Structure 1
Amino acid sequence: MPASRARAEDIASRLTALGLTTRVEGHARYTSIEAEVPEALPAGSWREVLEVVAEADRFGLLASSLTGRTLWAAVHKAVPATGDVRGPGHQR
């Protein structure tokens, strides 16, 4: 299992342990974790949830009156050790 997937799975399992339902999905450059946040999540649990997602490379919260609250986090996949790692036009 790639390291980014393992980190994402670890984050997801820790969020699940806090009572959230999670989804993990692989993408070309990152692995994402999404979790539905229930309205009844105790205020004290937020600190623990934030400590968990802070281990990701990026995270945020989407809130909507139609879809509720979705917490998301992304773990970047490793950059190749050789080759063009900075993209076109930015080569050494």
Structure 2
Amino acid sequence: MPASEASAEAIAARLSALGLTTRVEEHNRDTSIEAEVPESLSAESWREALEVVAEADRFGLLATSLNDRTLWAVVRKTVPTTSDVDGPGHQR
């Protein structure tokens, strides 16, 4: 099993262990994990959930005016090589 797949599965499992319902979706370049966050989630569980998603390559929280909250994380399947990285200091 690739390390990225194991990482995504571990994040989903740890969020599930906190009592959150998770969804995992495979994409070409990454795997996304989403978890619905109930209003009743304790502050301690929030901290744990944030520690879990911080292990991903990207993470965030989507909140709506209807009090729906979705915690999300993305794990890249491949690590970009130097030639794949663009930015202000990028040189060829």
Q: State the TM-score, normalizing by the size of structure 1.
A: 0.82
- Partner Cα distance (1:29, 1:15) in 2: 22
Alignment coverage as a number of residue pairs = 88
Distance in 2 between residues matched to 1:44 and 1:13, nearest whole Å: 18
Identify the residue that residue 78 of structure 2 maps to in structure 1.
78
2:37 aligned with 1:8, yes or no? Answer: no
SS in 2 for 1:47: helix
The alpha-carbon deviation at position 71 of structure 1 amounts to 0.3
The root-mean-square deviation of aligned C-alpha atoms, in Å, is 2.2
Give the deviation of 1:23 after TM superposition: 0.7
What SS class does the counterpart of residue 19 from structure 1 fall into? coil
CA distance in 2, matches of 1:44, 1:80: 35
Moved over 6 A (4+): none
Partner amino acid for 1:52? Answer: V
Q: Deviations over 1:54-79 (max 9, x none)?
A: 11010000000237000000001114
Distance 1:76 1:67 in 2: 29
Consecutive unaligned residues in structure 1, runs of 5 or more: none
Aligned to 2:26: 26
Query: Which AA in structure 2 matches 1:71?
Result: L
Please say if residues 5 and 26 of structure 1, whose CA atoms lie closer than 8 Å, have aligned partners that are also in contact. Answer: no
Please list every run of 5 or more consecutive structure 2 residues that lacks an aligned counterpart in the other structure: none
Alignment of 1:51-90 (within 5 A): 51-66=51-66, 68-79=68-79, 86=84
